[in-house]
Chains A and B, each alone.
Chain A
Amino acid sequence: MAYSDKVIEHAENPRNVGTLDKEDPNVGTGLVGAPACGDVMRLQIKVTDGGVIEDAKFKTFGCGSAIASSSLATEWLKGRTLDEAETIKNTDIVAELNLPPVKIHCSVLAEDAIKSAIDDYRKKQASRRAQG
């Protein structure tokens, strides 16, 4: 199967690779997928007190399409509010990267990672408020 130019570009030059401090209350972490399935994505967001994503980082174990999907997701997340971030759909990723049908699960995983990171952030904030 041939890859689209956009997948190759992201896989060769992944954006926002890295790790944020998962103990930071302003950081939300999503870890999705499974090693036995061949894909694991960790996506992290750092959110301002105003609810805007100021930074996003990822690390992905997976094929080129999985790496590209998560790289693209971090690009899209930066600067968005959480509510805006939640509107990102896997189909948007499929369209942007021209993913073939067998790679749609990569985009689904990226959407799951976004949702999971936002969830984690909101839970942290809620427990902080509960404690505070």
Chain B
Amino acid sequence: MALKLPIYMDYHATTPVDPRVLETMIPYFTEKFGNAASRSHRFGWEGEEAVGYAREQVAALINAEKPEEIVFTSGASESNNLALKGVAEFYKDKGNHIITTKVEHKAVLDTCKRLEKQGLTVTYLDVDKTGLVSVDDVRNALTDKTILVSVMLANNEVGAVQPIGEIGKLCKERGVLFHVDAVQGIGKTEFDVRAMGVDLASITAHKIYGPKGVGALYVRRSKPRVRISAQVDGGGHERGMRSGTLNVTGIVGFGKACEVLTKTWRDEVRKVEAQRNRLAEKIFKGLDEVYLNGPALDSGKRLPNNLNVSFAYVEGEGLMMAIKDVAVSSGSACTSASLEPSYVLRALGVDEELAHTSIRFGLGRFTTDEEVDFVADLVVGKVKKLRDLSPLYEMAKEGIDIKSIQWAAH
């Protein structure tokens, strides 16, 4: 089969809609377009029924006890905002302290920053050099004012899978609510809200082959019954937790995406893990001075589809341009408006020099073996070419210690 360019290897950023999902959605654009809140006619009932079915499909994927525990939102950023702000507001008489980690998504970190401005106290836990948070650190950070612990299931940059079950158990013992941003891990690693003691969980459709613009917040209904204050007021949709006309079409697609994943995820994990390992092996064999960021590939603590490596002496954006037929992303400063390298890599203690040379590969459902081989060969070739162009590589080969030079910051 001929290789089709460009090749997509940025499945952490988003995923294409699965054809099975799209097919399910189509009638809801034109024929079954009713407002799920319309109680007086068939169009509305159809919409309501479709949403109810999708709620069951989403609940099944994360093993929620009841479909009613699923609150549909516009995506995970909204879910994270709703979880943190909703809990902070509702439980303000109980406490004012939140514990999270330094490697959370910005939708969690920036929400925490805002809550701090409103008078809450937030503890941002360090992670180890592979990106993992320690359960003991969570335990030690708990106070009698702590109302919520928020830890991601898996990190979007380095794929570190956090000890969610253990943290959930700890939170249960201490009577503290536990929120998990499950966006990156879902369908790639075990996630079971009941077995893991999760009280709130954010998920989104577009990372699991569903459409963009739809997500959910799981809100536990019993043991304990979790309450949140709504952050969007209006028609009282989603049992008052999130007003706004439901995105029925998107929700139908989200449900189908969850159903597909519930059936296939274990097989998919095996497939992408083998491909990811093949990619890594070829890159590490083909080049010297390549460093893995995040947990070891065989540690069982890393997303099976994630490979994040630093190609010393080759700047990440320069490399991305050289491999422009391959869509990946970089922790280099140049990819962001801020000109700061990735805060996640810095939290892992990765040198700024190496952070600038990092590339994240994200494999997925539609990645082929041919693509993996092509990308590996291309990357090896281009890194060699760019090292020939790199004054740092030349200096390193001459035995000059790059760190001993007084560089002028600019």
**Chain A residues proximal to chain B, CB less than 8 Å:** 3, 8, 11-12, 14, 17, 19, 31-42, 59-64, 66-67, 102, 105, 108-109, 112
Contacts and interface: CB of A to CB of B under 8 A. Distances in A.
Contact of B389 (A3, A60, A105, A112): A60
A62 B392 contact: no
Contacts of B409: 34, 36-37
A60 B316 CA distance: 13
A39 B315 contact: yes
B322 A35 contact: no
Given A3-B321, A33-B410, A39-B410, A59 B390 contact: yes
Contacts of A14: 389
A58 to B, nearest CB: 8
Given A11-B322, A34-B407, A36-B352, A63 B390 contact: no
B48 interface: no
Interface stretch (B106-114, B164-172, B204-212, B331-339): B331-339
A62 B356 CA distance: 9
A63 B407 contact: no
24 contacts: A3-B321, A11-B322, A31-B391, A33-B408, A34-B409, A34-B410, A35-B402, A35-B407, A36-B351, A36-B352, A36-B353, A36-B356, A36-B409, A37-B407, A38-B333, A38-B356, A42-B391, A59-B391, A62-B318, A62-B334, A63-B318, A66-B318, A67-B318, A108-B410
Given A59-B390, A60-B391, A38 B332 contact: yes
Contact of A8 (B321, B393, B394): B321
A16 to B, nearest CB: 11
A14 B385 CA distance: 11
B356 A35 contact: yes
Secondary structure of the A contact surface, majority rule: mixed
Q: Which 5 A-B pairs have the closest CB atoms?
A: A34-B407, A63-B317, A64-B321, A42-B391, A36-B352
B315 A34 contact: no
Contacts of B356: 35-38
A123 B402 CA distance: 24
A19, A34, A41, A61 — which one has the most chain B CB atoms within 10 A of its CB? A61
A34 B352 CA distance: 10
Interface string B336-353: 010101000000000111
A63 to B, nearest CB: 4
Contact of B333 (A3, A8, A37): A37
B407 A36 contact: yes
A64 B320 CA distance: 9
Interface in B362-410: 388-394, 402, 407-410
B314 interface: yes
Contacts of A60: 389-391
Nearest to A64: B321
A19 B392 CA distance: 12
